[in-house]
């Protein structure tokens, strides 16, 4: 059976989107009997014990998947598709886990390739977004796979993070971190081979955010799993990143003041206006992140506050907090813990993420603490190991101790910052990813830093790994910039045809006619040439 949250998608209002042009490598038509559980043997997976294998043949399936649900891809329109849904459950004996994996197999239009889709937030996969991505991948002819890493449909860590007060569920955390990823690749390849009578000619992974971290983990730890990886806006350096996400709340708790979001939004808007033209074109998109802007110059400025529907002045507290967020979290001794976001990054809610700052405001003009669960759950459950811990009174000394303890205990498990990609390189693997320069949740400089560390180890990194900067793009999707819906296809062509992606074609969403921009491979940056029509991609260069 399809999960209930995927069944719900069947009733969405259809919208027409172009389908990617992929050549089918499989010309046969699968008989319904091939989708019987008796026709598909259990995979061979070292260290695992399979608990169940169920199948369901889905016919005449139609869906429209927007690119916002299909990271690294464009939108896909699926019409009257048929596929076999194979669901397997297994455990690692002695670890007390139960992991669910779904493999979807196109019945009559397989293109000879496998695509695994990643997760987001605390979800390893098999979430709403992952299932939509699987739908699109299946519609494009891929056999496709995703895993829940044993966390179930509600992966919120309050449901699984602690076995008991003081005792972290390290087995499930390790499943999320890495183990389930390679398991899913082995399972999907085996089931694909059993179903079609031949293995996939090429195997790929695609993800953003948590999915981007998963992609890096696969390249670093399981280099044989996939021929190509599209890993965007990766949540690597997990421990330091979570302290960056916790930093705004800590600052407000320390000051005992919680400004409304309208003040933060006004500061971001002013920063964009100040930095916009530094790249040679005033278009609401900041391509040059070296711009300097002092938010203290806005203190006392009157704005229309949407939180209350009244006018309000920007406070010194809001300006101080924003400046500290841009600088990134720091210890009491002013030592940097990690990077902060760029100045054009919005703290408001995005498609993939909650608001970076979302204080609860009442009609009388006051706001109260409203923490971001992603970082609060990490600190409470995995670092302090106490679900009842009160973080609102945390001192700077305690913040520093939490940051150190987090890194000390979980660095080797989750951080995915190993610069040695030699095994992935030597087996011919290719990796491509983009990172939005206006990403407030996962600062783009973290991706730049990782790429720099790989380049320091291997000066030929550009031959197998390319990171593209996306000006104006927020976390994974959204924002004023051009979204690189060609990321996956560029990676696939690099693997299959040897076509090196010197730029990534990107499109500013919801514009008529479409506005195109080329994205540049780091460390190059996008520059406007100042010639002719700024809406055409040939007016930009990579320097």
Active site residues: 209, 439, 475
Query: Per DSSP, what are the bridge partners of residue 431?
Result: 229, 465
Question: In angstroms, rounded to a whole number, what is the distance separating the alpha carbons of residues 380 and 384?
Answer: 5
CA proximity to 85, closest of 158, 36, 128, 44? 36
Q: Do 131 and 153 meet the contact criterion of CB atoms below 8 Å apart?
A: no
> How far is the C-alpha of 434 from the C-alpha of 65, rounded, in Å?
20
Cα(128)–Cα(537) distance, integer angstroms: 34
Element (H, E) at 493: helix 487-497
Burial of 438 (0-12, 13-18, 19+ CB in 10 A): buried
**Which distant-in-sequence residues (6+ apart) come within 8 Å of 373 by Cβ?**
156, 354
Structure tokens, 433: 């990813």
Which SS3 state, helix, strand or coil, does residue 485 take? coil
Look at strands 202-208 and 228-232 and give their pairing: parallel
- Run of H or E residues at 398: helix 396-414
Q: Which two tokens stand for residue 123?
A: 């979800």
Tokens matching residue 310: 């009244």
- Return the structure tokens found at 304: 């229309």
Between the alpha carbon of residue 170 and those of residues 69, 236, 295, 318, 491, the distances in Å are 30, 19, 42, 38, 34
Nearby residues of 85 by Cβ (< 8 Å), 6 or more positions away: 2, 55, 56, 57, 58, 102, 103, 104, 105
Locate the DSSP E strands across 375-481. Answer: 430-436, 465-470
| Residue whose C-alpha is closest to residue 494's, from 525, 468, 514, 470 | 468
CB of 206 closer than 8 Å to CB of 182: no
Element (H, E) at 456: helix 444-457
Q: Which two tokens stand for residue 101?
A: 């994996």
């Amino acid at each position: 059976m399809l999960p209930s949250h995927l069944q719900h998608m069947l009733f969405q209002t259809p919208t027409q989107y172009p389908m990617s042009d992929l050549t089918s490598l499989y010309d046969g038509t699968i008989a319904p009997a091939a989708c019987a559980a008796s026709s598909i043997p259990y995979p061979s997976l070292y260290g695992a014990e399979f608990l169940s294998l169920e199948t369901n043949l889905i016919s005449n399936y139609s869906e429209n998947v927007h690119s916002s649900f299909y990271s690294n891809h464009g939108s896909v329109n699926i019409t009257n598709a048929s596929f076999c849904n194979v669901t397997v459950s297994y455990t690692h004996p002695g670890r007390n886990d139960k992991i669910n994996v779904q493999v979807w197999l196109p019945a009559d239009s397989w293109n000879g390739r496998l695509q695994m889709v990643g997760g987001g937030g605390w979800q390893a996969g098999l979430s709403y977004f992952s299932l939509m991505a699987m739908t699109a991948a299946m519609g494009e002819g891929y056999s496709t796979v995703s895993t829940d890493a044993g966390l179930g449909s509600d992966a919120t860590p309050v449901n699984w993070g602690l076995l008991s007060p003081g005792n972290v569920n390290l087995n499930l955390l390790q499943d999320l971190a890495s183990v389930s990823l390679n398991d899913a690749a082995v399972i999907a390849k085996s089931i694909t081979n059993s179903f079609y009578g031949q293995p996939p000619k090429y195997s790929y992974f695609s993800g953003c955010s948590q999915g981007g971290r998963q992609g890096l983990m696969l390249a670093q730890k399981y280099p044989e799993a996939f021929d190509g990886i599209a890993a965007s806006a990766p949540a690597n350096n997990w421990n330091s990143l979570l302290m960056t996400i916790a930093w705004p709340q800590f600052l407000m708790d320390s000051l005992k003041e919680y400004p409304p979001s309208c003040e933060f939004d006004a500061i971001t808007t002013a920063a964009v206006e100040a930095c916009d033209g530094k790249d040679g074109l005033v278009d609401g998109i900041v391509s040059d992140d070296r711009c300097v802007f002092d938010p203290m110059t806005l203190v006392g400025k009157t704005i229309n506050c949407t939180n209350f529907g009244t006018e309000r002045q920007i406070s010194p507290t809001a300006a101080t907090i924003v400046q500290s967020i841009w600088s990134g979290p720091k210890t009491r001794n002013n030592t940097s813990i990690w990077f902060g976001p760029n100045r054009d990054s919005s703290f408001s809610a995005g498609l993939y993420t909650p608001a970076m700052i979302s204080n609860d405001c009442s009609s009388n003009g006051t706001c109260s603490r409203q923490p971001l669960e992603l970082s609060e759950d990490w600190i409470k459950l995995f670092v302090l190991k106490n679900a009842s811990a009160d973080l609102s009174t945390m001192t700077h000394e305690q913040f520093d101790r939490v940051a150190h303890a987090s890194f000390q205990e979980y660095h080797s498990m989750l951080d995915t910052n190993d610069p040695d990609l030699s095994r992935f390189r030597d087996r011919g693997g290719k990796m491509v990813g983009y990172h939005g320069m206006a990403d407030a949740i996962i600062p783009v400089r973290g991706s730049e830093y990782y790429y720099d560390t790989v380049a320091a180890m291997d000066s030929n990194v550009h031959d197998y790994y390319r990171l593209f900067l996306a000006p104006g793009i927020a976390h994974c999707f959204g924002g004023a910039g051009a979204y690189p819906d060609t990321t996956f296809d560029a990676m696939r062509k690099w693997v299959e045809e040897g076509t090196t992606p010197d730029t990534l074609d990107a499109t500013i969403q919801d514009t008529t006619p479409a506005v195109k921009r080329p994205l540049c491979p780091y460390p190059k940056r996008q520059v406007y040439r100042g010639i002719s029509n700024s809406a055409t991609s040939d007016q930009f260069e990579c320097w």
